[in-house]
Amino acid sequence: MKRHVLLMAIVLECAVLASPAPALAQAPKLKNVKIRGYVTEFRSPTSFDIEDYRISRGEAFTLDFDNASPEITFGLNDIRVGVELEIEGQLNEATGDLKARSIRVDLEQFKSIEQTAFVTAPPQGIQLLDGAWAGELHADGQTILVTTTTKVLFKPTKREKKLAEQAAKNKVDAGEEFEPLSSLDQVTLGMAMTYEGIRDRETGRIVAERVEFSTNDLEDGEAKLWKSLKTSIKPPQALKPGELKIDRVGKFTLLPDQAVQDYLASIGRRLIPAYQAELSDTDPRKIPFQFHVVLDDEANAFATPNGIVVVHSGLIELLENEAQLAAVIGHEIAHATHEHTWRQQNFHKKKRIAIGIAGMFAAAYGLETLSDIADLVNGAIVNGHQRTLENQSDRVGLQYMINAGYDPRQAPAVWKVMAQETGDDPTDFFWSSHDNHATRRSYLMNELKNNYRDLDYAPLVLNAGEYERIKDAIENAKNPKRKIKVN
């Protein structure tokens, strides 16, 4: 402001009348916002980035905590890349600068983690020396540090113990006790792996206290859940499009273009992890994946526990390339392969919260007619369990993308596109329990930094050209009288 006043004084003093004085600069547009996300760049405890937001500390400032406990300490000096924060302050929308009035930290993120994943590749990086395992495991989209103090165990299932007892003609119930893992040969593809530990704040690795391996048999209750979600398809008749019906979920209008349906299915099949794809069709653990495009302008997608992946036509039209679509499909496949609906239901049983499968999908899918059940689901989300599963699908989906040859940097780009379309408001997309798109994007950006910093991106693809042809085919299918675009 002083600079403009000085220039105007000089102009008047010199009596320069040929042109008017320059207009004063327009005041920046400021907006009060609250964002939640993971630190993606760190310069100092009072200057860091969360996704595209550049955070600095305002004059009036508070630091608050959720889930505080005496054994965990945290101050501004503990802010690092990967730490999740909630920032409230004033945003300059033109520059992305956010002056923080308050920073809230959920200290739960620094407590011991317990997560179940599935073995998708032979374990490497750990070895048995003097009776103790040590090294690094790459599993669940994470780097897990195994030290000589880590308990590495193997748990035979009831079926395996029964077979062993029968073979030994031993009538004594051996129970379900864990035993020390004696060889990596005991670990087979598709096996469940549960790990517990603390995330190292500096490296992002999980320092494991305990790692357990066990065969993942399909439980009776889960098998019944799969059977209850049977699909039926009505083929198109005359001018009436086809219909997809999923028992206990709903009815959907299928996009009337088989080439688009085949395109989605081909992407989906490439993203299914090899250990699943290679199971015999008679193996009860094999997920019978299906992929369908339905006519709906809302940018959304979902997957059922038995592998029915449904993608809205509006989502395909919104995204920019095939790699971005693969990020969404891989995310949905991970929900199925990691048994998230089944695990969520069992979790809520322990909490004595009655939530039906229809209500769960209503919340994920936005069916307001089931709002009473959705309210129960939203209440359950507060406990953080669904968010843990959502994060797992995000990071496992990255690995599925890479295995299929797609550029995983397009996964965070999905949420950039979503923010441009709908703003950075709270979202219910793709099982989401996150507060806004910045949370999803910043989480994925950090996963790429922590676990794929040495990845060679050169051979990985976007397939943008083919994707544009598919988008045009969707537009033609939605509007049959539209003049067909020829590329």
Give the span between the Cα atoms of 405 and 265, in whole angstroms.
16
CB atoms within 10 A of CB 315: 23
Q: What mean pLDDT do residues 47-70 have? A: 92
pLDDT tens digits, one per residue of 1-42 = 444 433 333 232 333 334 455 555 567 789 999 999 999 999
Domain that holds residue 189: 113-214
The conformation of residue 405, written as its DSSP 8-state character, comes to: T
**CA dist., res. 313 & res. 88, Å (int):** 35
Does position 357 have pLDDT exceeding 80, yes or no?
no
**Residue 400, burial from CB neighbour count under 10 angstroms (0-12, 13-18, 19+):** buried
Residues 98-148 pLDDT 10s: 999 999 999 999 999 999 999 988 888 999 989 999 999 989 999 999 999
CATH number, domain at 41?
2.40.50.140
Which residue did the predictor score with more confidence, 219 or 10? 219
Has residue 19 been placed in a domain?
A: no
Q: Is residue 387 within 8 Å of residue 308, measured between CB atoms?
A: no
Q: Are residues 258 and 392 in the same domain?
A: yes
Q: What's the confidence (pLDDT) of residue 378?
A: 41
Query: pTM for the complete prediction?
Result: 0.82
Task: Mark whether 236 and 126 lie in a shared domain.
Answer: no
Q: Are residues 273 and 376 in the same domain?
A: yes
Tell me: do 271 and 365 sit in the same domain: yes
The reported pLDDT for the residue numbered 201 is 86
200 and 118 belong to one structural domain: yes
Rounded to an integer, the average pLDDT of 435-455 is 88
Residue 67 and residue 176 in one domain: no
Domain end: 191, 214, 237, which one? 214
C-alpha–C-alpha distance, residues 181 and 147, integer Å: 14
Most confident of 138-152, 234-248, 316-330: 316-330
Q: How many domains does the chain have?
A: 3
Is there a single domain that holds both residue 355 and residue 457? yes
Of 214, 230, 260, which one is at a domain's C-terminal end?
A: 214
Final residue of a domain: which of 49, 84, 107?
107
**Where is pLDDT greater, at 149 or 345?**
149
Mean pLDDT over each residue of the chain, to the nearest integer: 83
Please tell me whether residues 88 and 120 are part of one structural domain: no
Residue 200 belongs to a domain: yes
Q: Are residues 367 and 393 in the same domain?
A: yes
189 and 225 assigned to the same domain: no
Query: Buried (b) or exposed (e) across 104-134, using 16+ Cβ within 10 A?
Result: bbbeebbeebebbbbbbeebeebeeeeeebb
Above pLDDT 90, what percent of the chain? 62
Decide if 5 is inside a domain.
no
Is there a single domain that holds both residue 249 and residue 368? yes
243 and 257 part of one domain:
yes
pLDDT digits (tens, 9 = 90+) for 170-186: 544 444 578 899 999 99
Residue 1 located in a structural domain: no
